[in-house]
Structure 1
Amino acid sequence: MRNFTAGVRTLGTGFGTILRSPKLLLIGAVPALLSTVLLVGALGVLIYFSGDLIGWMTPFAEDWAQAWQRTVRIVVGIALIGAAALVGSLSFIALTLLIGGPFYEHIAEVAEKRWGLNSTGDGAGWLRQTGRGVRDSAKLVLITLAGGLVLFALGFVPVAGQVVTPILAALFGAWVISLEMVGLVFQRGGLRLRERHRVLRRHRARVLGFGLSTYFLCLVPVVQLVVIPSAVVGGTLLAHRLLDPAAAGSQDVQLRA
């Protein structure tokens, strides 16, 4: 429980840093706003064409009685929109980081300088670093889509699906968010996505504390514009704590002082 609480506090440190710097807040909010507009627009288009999509997905119900046909198509429609909203919420941060990569890298570097943390990398140039970021973001989007499809299928399991699916969605979302938010530091050091998984698995409680608090706050409209840059700062600190506990431990003392 102590490690879980420490993960939550890491996000709190990010909030404190961002709220004390309006410039960083503005820089970090713009990509999040663009992602919100894109995803809400995509969801709106899906809802607009949902009638045609549902008809295409349920050809087997064409000859059914009107009441049964309507019931099946309402259920499929709710599941379709729900799955789209779930995938959208899970991919929101990946899309935001992809759009605002250079902005968030700047925010992370400012935070590292403020805390006296090592910001040197493995010597890779800007182009190579960008390629790493795009590649890992694409992988995370695919992982998110695959997880969304599994959760979508589980939602059709009577009773258990409606109880278990939201819990699994939160845990899955928290893990993906944590993978994304520590990415700037890991990529700079030349560490790949599978290595992020390995390091984060050794600190599950702390990672879930950070990820779950970020996940639930990102579900709140408008608040997410502040959450994303705060989570970038918190994720940067979390990555240093996991990769270099001694250096991050001395930084904790500075924060409390």
Structure 2
Amino acid sequence: MPIHYNIHTKEPYLRLPEPLSNIIITPHRLHQLEETIDAKVPLLNDPIIYLNLTGPPYPYLREHEEEWVKMRCEAGAPVLNALRAEFETSVKEQQFFDFCPFSVIREVTEQDPTTGDPLKDILIGDVGISRYSFYEYEHGSEEKAEAQRLNDELPAGDERIVWQIGDFMAPSHHGRGIMTQAMRMVLQDWGVPRMNIKLLKAGAFVENIGSIKVFEKNNFKVVGTLKDWVSISESRGGGRRSLVLVKWKGL
């Protein structure tokens, strides 16, 4: 599926195939900051979601999301400007990028009857690509820091870059195959052709069977388990949790 371009908002977006064509993946929207905060903060404070995530703080506050959206919009601006130039000038230069602008999963509630472009939508999840965190190295170790430094120094498009992917979905939309298709689309329509991704890994808590299945359906293979990988704060249930590592085998 191609990258679409909303003629009303000048926003590039991805659209899932039928029967999920009412689901799109967009960049972050600074102009809808308050709407985004209202939708996402409750999700990241839902135990069905936050107990399965390694990254965001808990409790997740409005200021956390405001900072995150502003940061992602700033990082994505050069990529989106380049994409808009491609669409508006019909110049299709093969340029590799170091950033995936398509991360916010939305359900379309109203669309243009002529063009099919979304007019209204609601935020239901997120799928993000970033440079790998090297979970297998001890937290705070020199080995971990060095591996990250070397990986981060590789230029955009270098096939030696190790990437990682993570996601979450509103519980109201679980069990419909949305995340499986969203991850597949982000990889096949952006990650491979525009970032030259060759090496891709991810991690999921051993209890998070749903996420592990999503990875497996997208051609990831379980390559190991890091037992008692992290100590969890009491606010998130306490104790230590193990992490399953998966590695992508390609499209």
Q: TM-score, normalised by structure 2?
A: 0.31
Considering fraction of residues, name the structure with more helix: 1
- Give the greater-gyration-radius structure (CA): 1
Q: TM-score, normalised by structure 1?
A: 0.31
